[in-house]
Amino acid sequence: MNPKQWVCVVCGYNMIGEMPDVCPFCGARHDKFVTAEEAAQTYTVTPQSVNENVTQLMSVPRLGIEHAAYRIETEEGAVWIDCPSAFNRTLEPVRAIYFTHKDFMGASNQYREYWGAKVNIHALDAAHPLARPFPIDHEFSGDFTEYGIEAFHIGGHTPGFTMYVYRDVLFVCDYAFPPGPKMRLNPFSPEDEIRARASRVVELISERPLKTVCGYNYVAEFDGWCTDFKRLVA
Ligand SMILES: [Zn+2]
Helix (H, G, I), strand (E, B) or coil at 24: coil
What band does 3 get if pLDDT is binned at 50, 70 and 90? Answer: low
Q: Could you tell me the pTM of the whole model?
A: 0.96
**pLDDT of residue 1 exceeding 70:** no
Residue 10 lies inside a defined structural domain of this protein: no
CATH number at 133 reads 3.60.15.10
Q: What is the mean predicted confidence (pLDDT) over 17-35?
A: 96
Cis peptide bond N-terminal to 93, omega within 30: no
Is residue 22 a part of any domain in this protein?
A: no
What tens digit of pLDDT does each residue of 183-211 get?
A: 999 999 999 999 999 999 999 999 899 99
Residue 2, pLDDT above cutoff 70: no
Residues having C-beta closer than 5 Å to ion ligand 1: 8, 10-11, 13, 23, 25-26, 28
- Stretch 37-61: mean pLDDT: 97
Question: Does residue 33 sit within a domain?
Answer: no
Q: How far is the CA of 187 from the centre of ligand 1 (A)?
A: 18
Mean pLDDT of 109-124: 98
Proportion of the chain above pLDDT 70, given as a percent: 99
> In sequence order, what are the beta bridge partners of 146?
149
Alpha carbon of 66 to ligand 1 centroid (Å): 10
Average pLDDT over residues 15-25: 95
CA distance 70 to 165: 12
Q: Is residue 36 part of a domain?
A: no
Instruction: Show the domain range for 228.
Output: 45-233
| Ligand 1 geometric centre to CA of 14 (Å) | 8
The mean per-residue pLDDT over the stretch 54-62 comes to 97
Q: With respect to residue 199, please indicate whether it lies within any of the assigned structural domains.
A: yes
CA 111 / ligand 1 centre spacing (Å): 20
d(CA 41, CA 101): 27
52 alpha carbon to ligand 1 midpoint, in Å?
34
In a domain, 92, yes or no: yes
- Asked if residue 191 belongs to a domain, the reply is yes
Residue 166 alpha carbon to ligand 1 centre in Å: 31
Whether 30 maps to a domain, the answer reads no
Cα dihedral 55, 9, 129, 67 in deg (nearest 10): 20
**Number of separate domains in the chain:** 1
